[in-house]
Structure 1
Amino acid sequence: MPVRPRHLLVGASTVIAAVVSLSGCSQKATGGDGSIKVTASDSKCEVSRAEFPAGHLTLDVDNTGSKVTEVYVLFPDGRIAAERENIGPGTKASITAEIKAGDYEIACKPGMKGDGIHRKVTATGKNTAAERSPEIDAAVAGYRSYVLTQAEETLPKAKAFADAVKAGDIETAKKLYAPSRIGWERTEPVAESFGDIDPKVDIREDGLEAGQDPEKDWTGWHRLEKALWQDKKIDDQEKRLADRLVADLNDWVKRVGTAEITPTSMANGAKELLDEVARNKITGEEDRYSHTDLVDFKGNLEGAQKSYELLKPVAAKNNPGLTRELDGQFTALTGLLDKYRIGAAGYEYTSYDKVTEPQRKELSDGVNALAEPLSKLAAAVVK
């Protein structure tokens, strides 16, 4: 679960109507392909230009620093228009997004912690990406319906989990914990795009900001996970947090229908879900108390595959070799994960603390083999 710090959010009042010169930003010319070059270091976020035409945007990111970094394109209200995480030191990455005319911020977050370094930019003119093919419109509509369905189906599962917590039934709550998270994990990039919901429901203790008190400021699934598996007790505070989780997820359901969904956000979101697996599930950091990481892994994989399948008709026309490779890699990774399934159906998997280091390495290699071609999907749908 990538942490979305509250202080990363950009309020609309902080974005001025016209972008002035960017202090600390390089004003290098863009490449001939019209991309924007972003040079991220440990202390700078250099953007090659402050204005660019609305439509299909490509950010070519070069991390020249010594820390892993993240790069965001943020809407004025703080929602995430596009992002790329886990850009290692000395490596490069590309972000393709569909951007409407208006004001934005490009933010680099060295070390993936803290406020990040923000640069104001503007997309000018007509949104040339607005006129889309019927196939693309169908993909976006299909994904919007999928996201809403996943959110709506999560609520009763989360409520059942919360009810068990409030009843003090630790064993039942443990059984309901992982199933209550599947819909969220399938559509996490959309949920995270709102910025303020993810820190309420899915943050881990080490994701809290400096000065935040775990006893007062830590809420959501993982706070209750710790109570159930490590503390082995449910007090009045946990019962209140169970109600709070359901309330925050209700907020998610009400807002998810307003999410900004584009073909490139779908493609980028699929890659982000694989990054989630690589960063948090393979390491065992996500569900460190319950060791139900493989259930989250399955949810992330299913969500990524849904985006891909909806976009595949267009991607196959533009890059048939890519879709053939993706078909094979999705099948291969699903097969690897199924080795740990308990029973022929359902979402019960081997406890992750029983998965050996060589087995984790095999899973990691499978994730990386899929993530590399999946990173090309956004470019394939906007050709």
Structure 2
Amino acid sequence: MRTPIALAAAGLALATLSACSDEPQSGSASYSPAQDGKITVAATDTECKVAAGEVSAGTSTFTITNAGSKVTEFYIYAPGDRVMGEVENIVPGLTREVIVELPAGTYEAACKPGMVGNGIRTPLRVSGDHKPLADDAKLSEAVAGYKRYITSQGATLLVKTQEFVDAVKAGDIDRAKALYPVARTYWERIEPVAEIFGDLDPAIDAREADLEDGQEWTGYHRIEKDLWIKKDVSKDGPIADRLMTDVTTIVEKANAAQLSPVQLANGAKALLDEVATGKITGEEEIWSHTDLWDFDANLDGAKAAVQALRPVLEERSPDLVRALDGKFAAAEAALQAHRKGDGWKLHNELSKSELRGLSDAINALAEPISKIAAVIAT
């Protein structure tokens, strides 16, 4: 969950992203019934009007328009606040979509104006029977392949986070600084799955700008500030231990998670959205400026999800596969221009034109990626 520090910059990035996508846009959130099977959601700063309180089991498309003055998010929660689908960073005046696969049961739809708190929630009932997308053998193998990727990345995340935690607890600031972006690389790659599990994601990854009044601040970014700004981690032992505990829990939950094929597609899109609204603007790693490590990890995580789905996409939409291959290659080439030794240039070492070049490459890739969920849900 993200609260933009540079709201104007984030809004510009998202507006550019939207212009390159097939998602509809609108300047008003009139409350109208669903069209073409899509369920409209009218979001304001005080309301979250969902056009249907009950939907049939299977895949549903929610079309969310933000007519408020604050950036908002939209979630579908299963019991226990397990995230079944989400869209973040919906700037005022923008309309965005998410496709979600829901078995029969009770859920909640939620809008989060300002992208904080529990959100404005509306009950949602799902009824009837449906054949899960993963009953398709190729989609089942796609999920299994992606889960293997998540498991391998999670295993290395545990190792690298433990090394980072040990350096923090030893007071070795230089080593902790060097390990910080490495550990976060593996975190960013699995974040689409990690975000499913309620409060654990913000406990690990919340930035100072994300905090509500009175909220305890823990996780990577709390230590980041102490390393680069305070230059003192002598009191961070308990925070480091909590980070290791939370990361261990997330990895265990991610390994056990049951995923829908559309979650792979949505996760790939979400990783690119994070680049467009956080990494490009420099607000993700505001003190360390190691945003390009995250950028690379997000690209890698998105590509892993798309590659897992590739056999199905090649069968159903070969033109889309060719577009994805070309745009991934272009985005990776744009990033590779900023290699520095074994890592990357710092965000504050890049010029505005260099950042715009990276942004353009991500926006171009986002357009074909935004089409994957609909192909998979067909």
Normalised to the residue count of structure 2, the TM-score between the two structures is: 0.89
Matching of residue 117 in structure 1 with residue 120 in structure 2: yes
What residue identity is the alignment partner of 1:352?
H
Provide the residue aligned with 2:175 in structure 1: 172
Match of 1:104 among 87, 104, 107: 107
Q: Deviations over 1:213-254 (max 9, x none)?
A: xxxx2111111111111111121x212211221111111122
Provide the residue aligned with 1:156 in structure 2: 159
Number of corresponding residues: 352
Q: CA deviation at 1:284?
A: 0.7
Work out whether residues 82 and 95 of structure 1, in 8 Å CA contact, stay in contact via their aligned partners in 2: yes
Q: Secondary structure at the match of 2:135?
A: coil
- What is the rounded CA distance, in whole Å, between the counterparts of 1:62 and 1:173 in structure 2? 42
Q: Deviations over 1:325-363 (max 9, x none)?
A: 1111111000000011124xx4x1011111111111111
- What is the rounded CA distance, in whole Å, between the counterparts of 1:243 and 1:110 in structure 2? 32
Query: Cα RMSD between the aligned structures?
Result: 1.7
Task: Please list, as runs of the form range in 1=range in 2, the aligned pairs for 1:298-337 lying within 5 A after superposition.
Answer: 298-337=296-335
Work out whether residues 28 and 49 of structure 1, in 8 Å CA contact, stay in contact via their aligned partners in 2: no
Task: Please list, as runs of the form range in 1=range in 2, the aligned pairs for 1:150-229 lying within 5 A after superposition.
Answer: 150-212=153-215, 217-229=216-228
Q: CA deviation at 1:131?
A: 5.8
Provide the residue aligned with 2:19 in structure 1: none
> Unaligned regions of 5+ residues in structure 1, if any?
4-25
- What is the rounded CA distance, in whole Å, between the counterparts of 1:30 and 1:206 in structure 2? 35
Q: CA deviation at 1:312?
A: 1.7
Work out whether residues 99 and 127 of structure 1, in 8 Å CA contact, stay in contact via their aligned partners in 2: no
What residue identity is the alignment partner of 1:30?
A
Provide the residue aligned with 1:233 in structure 2: 232
- What is the rounded CA distance, in whole Å, between the counterparts of 1:328 and 1:167 in structure 2? 46
Provide the residue aligned with 1:290 in structure 2: 288
- What is the rounded CA distance, in whole Å, between the counterparts of 2:58 and 2:196 in structure 1? 19
- What is the rounded CA distance, in whole Å, between the counterparts of 1:27 and 1:284 in structure 2? 36
Provide the residue aligned with 1:59 in structure 2: 62
- What is the rounded CA distance, in whole Å, between the counterparts of 1:130 and 1:364 in structure 2? 33
Matching of residue 349 in structure 1 with residue 353 in structure 2: no
Match of 1:243 among 241, 244, 252: 241
- What is the rounded CA distance, in whole Å, between the counterparts of 1:220 and 1:265 in structure 2? 25
Work out whether residues 2 and 89 of structure 2, in 8 Å CA contact, stay in contact via their aligned partners in 1: no
- What is the rounded CA distance, in whole Å, between the counterparts of 2:366 and 2:377 in structure 1? 19
Provide the residue aligned with 1:133 in structure 2: 136
Work out whether residues 31 and 51 of structure 2, in 8 Å CA contact, stay in contact via their aligned partners in 1: yes
Q: CA deviation at 1:102?
A: 0.6
What residue identity is the alignment partner of 2:222?
R
- What is the rounded CA distance, in whole Å, between the counterparts of 1:120 and 1:381 in structure 2? 27
Matching of residue 92 in structure 1 with residue 90 in structure 2: no
- What is the rounded CA distance, in whole Å, between the counterparts of 1:182 and 1:83 in structure 2? 22
Matching of residue 378 in structure 1 with residue 373 in structure 2: yes
Q: CA deviation at 1:90?
A: 2.1
Q: Secondary structure at the match of 1:210?
A: coil
Q: State, as a whole percentage, how many aligned pairs show the same letter.
A: 46
Provide the residue aligned with 2:11 in structure 1: none
Normalised to the residue count of structure 1, the TM-score between the two structures is: 0.88
More RCO (CA 8 Å, sep 6+):
2
- What is the rounded CA distance, in whole Å, between the counterparts of 1:159 and 1:278 in structure 2? 29
Pick which of 318-327 and 277-286 moved more: 318-327
Q: CA deviation at 1:27?
A: 8.8
Work out whether residues 31 and 41 of structure 2, in 8 Å CA contact, stay in contact via their aligned partners in 1: no
- What is the rounded CA distance, in whole Å, between the counterparts of 1:319 and 1:262 in structure 2? 20
Match of 1:361 among 356, 359, 365: 356
Matching of residue 40 in structure 1 with residue 40 in structure 2: no
Work out whether residues 134 and 140 of structure 2, in 8 Å CA contact, stay in contact via their aligned partners in 1: no
Q: Secondary structure at the match of 1:187?
A: helix
What residue identity is the alignment partner of 1:263?
P
> Unaligned regions of 5+ residues in structure 2, if any?
4-29
Q: CA deviation at 1:170?
A: 0.8
Q: Secondary structure at the match of 1:285?
A: coil
Q: CA deviation at 1:80?
A: 0.7
Matching of residue 2 in structure 1 with residue 2 in structure 2: yes
What residue identity is the alignment partner of 1:2?
R
Provide the residue aligned with 2:34 in structure 1: 30
Work out whether residues 168 and 240 of structure 2, in 8 Å CA contact, stay in contact via their aligned partners in 1: yes
Provide the residue aligned with 1:10 in structure 2: none
Provide the residue aligned with 2:73 in structure 1: 70
- What is the rounded CA distance, in whole Å, between the counterparts of 1:51 and 1:41 in structure 2? 21
